[in-house]
Amino acid sequence: MMRLRSLFMVLASALLVLATGGPVSLAQNPVPPGRIPPPQGRSLFNMFWQIPERPAMQPRAQPRVARPAPAVRRAPASVVVRDDPVVPKVDVAHHIVVLGDSLANLVAGGLDEALNDRPDVAVIHKAKPDSGLVRSDFYDWPKAVTDLLASDQKITTAVMMLGLNDRQAIREGDVVHEPMSERWLQLYRDRVDAIATAFAAKRIPLIWIGEPPMQNARLSADLAIFNDIYRQRVERAGGQYVDLWGAYVDAENRYTAMGPDVSGQTTRLRLGDGIHFTRAGARKAAHFVDVLIRRMIEQRPSDENVIALPAGPSAPDAAVVPVDPTAQPGGVERLIDAMVRGTPEPGGLAAALQSRPLAGPIQPLTGPGAGGDKALLASIPDARGRGDLANQLDRVFGEGVGSEPKPGRIDDYRWPRGN
C-alpha cells in the first residue's frame, strides 16, 4: 500500500509538472504585470487549454481641434533696375550693306557692335569668304553688285573690303597674266572701277576699306599696292577710302598683333594666323567706318528740311527750296547738338557757325614766313630747303661756333658807342 501510494504521488507530481510547463519556462520568459503569461512548451496544458491573449490597450484618440491657418505675409514685389537704357522701337531708316571677303565679315560684326545705339540703322552682312576680284569663276563681284542693285534690297550705304585673296593669276581668254604684271594691274583696276561706278550710278555712297598690314612681309607689300588702286579708283568715282594701315603697326611702321583698342587699352588685335582680326581688332576697324557712316547720316537731308512750292510763272524751276532748320520747332537745340558733335546742319545759322577745324594753317619753322613788316624766318632756303636759322643752329650746336651778337641782347659785350 505504501508503495502504491508513493507511486501515485510521483505520477501526480509528474502530471502536474507537465501540465504547468515547469518553473524553468516561467523564469526564462518573465511576464509583465497585468498580463496573463502565455503557456510555454509542448505540454498537455497547451494542447487542451488555450487562453486567448488579451490585446494591448491602445491610447484613446484625442479629438482634433481645428486651428486657424497662420497668416502668410507676402513680400513686396521687387523692383528691377536696369543699367542699360531702354531704347524705344523705331523703324529702320538706314541700311548699311557690307560686301567683301572674310575680313569684311569681321568688320560687319564690329559695325553691329559700334552702331548698337542706333536702332534706326541696320547692318546687312553680304560678305563672301575666300572671294576676291581675281577668281571671277568662283565669285564674280562686279556681277554680284549689279544683281544686288537691281534687286529690292534697300541700300543706304555700301561698305566694301576685298584683296586678301587676289594674289593670283588673272585669266583673260586663253592668256594667263601673272600677278602684278602690267596687264594684270590694268584688269584689276577695271574690276574695281566696275564696282565703284555701279554704286555711283545709283547714287549710293560707297566706303572702301583698305587692307591692314599682314605678318607676311611679301603679302603686306602686295596689299599696299592694292590699297593704292582702291584709293585712286574709288575716290575718282566719288566714294570714300578708309585707310587702316596705321592702326595696326608699331612705332616703326611694322606689323604688330597687339595695340590699343577703341577704349585705349592695349590688347590683341590680330589672330594667330597674322591675317584676321580678333573681336577687339574688328571693332577697332569698324570704328573708322562708323565715324563716316554717322557723318553721312547727320548730313543727309531729311523731308523736314524742304518745302514744296506751287508751280507757276513766278515760281523757280526747282519744286523744293531749303528751309532754315533754326526756324523749325527745336531747331536751335538740334543745331547746338550738331555743333557739339562737329557736324553742323546745313543752312540757316549753321552757315555762319562753322565747326572748329582740327588744325590751323601749317607754318614751317625753318621755311619762309612773314609776320607784319619783318620776316619771321629767312626767306631764302639753302640747297637742302633749310633757312638761315637752321644753318645757324647747326653752327652753334654742331660746330660749336657762337652766333653773332645782336645789339641790346645779353650776349652783346661790345663797348657802347658814345653819343
Q: Reduce the secondary structure of the chain to three states and give it as a string.
A: CHHHHHHHHHHHHHHHHHHHCHHHHHHHCCCCCCCCCCCCCCCHHHHHCCCCCCCCCCCCCCCCCCCCCCCCCCCCCCCCCCCCCCCCCCCCCEEEEEEECHHHHHHHHHHHHHCCCCCCEEEEECCCCCCCCCCCCCCCHHHHHHHHHHCCCCCCEEEEECCCCCCCCEEECCEEECCCCHHHHHHHHHHHHHHHHHHHHCCCCEEEECCCCCCCHHHHHHHHHHHHHHHHHHHHCCCEEECCHHHHECCCCCECCEEECCCCCEEECECCCCCCECHHHHHHHHHHHHHHHHHHHHHCCCHHHEEECCCCCCCCCCCEEECCHHHCCCHHHHHHHHHHHCCCCCCHHHHCCCCCCCCCCCCCCCCCCCECCECCCCCCCCCCCCCHHHHHHHHHHCCCCCCCCCCCCCCCCCCCCCC
pLDDT of residue 10: 74
With 0.85 as the threshold, say if the pTM is over it: no
Instruction: Give 268's pLDDT tier (boundaries 50, 70, 90).
Output: very high
Q: Is residue 158 part of a domain?
A: yes
| Tens digits of residue pLDDT in 397-412 | 767 776 677 776 776 6
| Tens digits of residue pLDDT in 197-212 | 999 999 999 999 999 9
What is the average pLDDT across 242-251? 94
Q: Which of 196, 174, 177 is nearest to 185 (CA)?
A: 177
pLDDT of residue 8: 75
What is the average pLDDT across 135-158? 94
pLDDT of residue 305: 41
φ, ψ of residue 287 to 5 degrees: the values are -60, -40
- The residues, any chain, with a CB within 8 Å of residue 227's CB and separated by 6 or more, are 163, 210, 211, 243, 245
Strand partners, 320: 308
Residue whose C-alpha cell is 578708309: 242
φ, ψ of residue 64 to 5 degrees: the values are -80, 135
Domain with 158 in it: 94-299
pLDDT of residue 407: 72
What is the average pLDDT across 269-279? 96
Share of the chain above pLDDT 90, in %: 47
Cα dist from 334 to 115, 117, 235, 324, 406, whole Å: 20, 18, 31, 12, 57
Q: Is residue 80 part of a domain?
A: no
Looking at per-residue pLDDT, the higher value among 408 and 295 belongs to 295
pLDDT of residue 200: 96
Looking at per-residue pLDDT, the higher value among 359 and 193 belongs to 193
pLDDT of residue 12: 77
Q: Which of 147, 159, 161, 141 is nearest to 100 (CA)?
A: 161
Per the CB < 8 A criterion, the answer to whether 312 and 288 are in contact is no
Mean of pLDDT over the chain: 75
Kindly state the cell numbers that stand for 123.
Answer: 547692318
Overall domain count for the chain: 1
Highest mean pLDDT among 29-33, 240-244, 380-384: 240-244
Q: Is residue 48 part of a domain?
A: no
Per the CB < 8 A criterion, the answer to whether 249 and 256 are in contact is yes
What is the average pLDDT across 57-86? 63
Per the CB < 8 A criterion, the answer to whether 222 and 180 are in contact is yes
pLDDT of residue 373: 43
pLDDT of residue 361: 56
What is the average pLDDT across 113-135? 94
Q: Is residue 415 part of a domain?
A: no
Query: Is the pLDDT at 175 greater than 80, yes or no?
Result: yes
What is the average pLDDT across 243-259? 93
Query: Is the pLDDT at 332 greater than 60, yes or no?
Result: no
The CATH code of the domain that includes 213 is 3.40.50.1110
The distance of Cα 242 from the centroid of its chain, to the nearest Å, equals 19
Q: Is residue 246 part of a domain?
A: yes
pLDDT of residue 5: 74
Instruction: Give 78's pLDDT tier (boundaries 50, 70, 90).
Output: low
Looking at per-residue pLDDT, the higher value among 187 and 418 belongs to 187
pLDDT of residue 207: 96
Residue-wise burial string across 241-255, b where 16 or more C-beta atoms lie within 10 A, e elsewhere: bbebeebbbeeeeeb
Q: How many CA atoms lie within 13 A of 347 on its CB side?
A: 17
Query: Is the pLDDT at 102 greater than 90, yes or no?
Result: yes
Instruction: Give 236's pLDDT tier (boundaries 50, 70, 90).
Output: very high
Residue whose C-alpha cell is 481645428: 66
Highest mean pLDDT among 77-81, 128-132, 410-414: 128-132
Q: Is residue 181 part of a domain?
A: yes
Q: Is residue 362 part of a domain?
A: no
Strands 175-177 and 94-100: what pairing? unpaired
Share of the chain above pLDDT 70, in %: 55
Per the CB < 8 A criterion, the answer to whether 234 and 189 are in contact is no
Highest mean pLDDT among 87-96, 242-251, 401-410: 242-251
What is the average pLDDT across 352-362? 50
Query: Is the pLDDT at 308 greater than 90, yes or no?
Result: no
Q: Is residue 122 part of a domain?
A: yes
| Other beta carbons within 10 Å of 84 | 5
Highest mean pLDDT among 74-88, 216-230, 311-325: 216-230
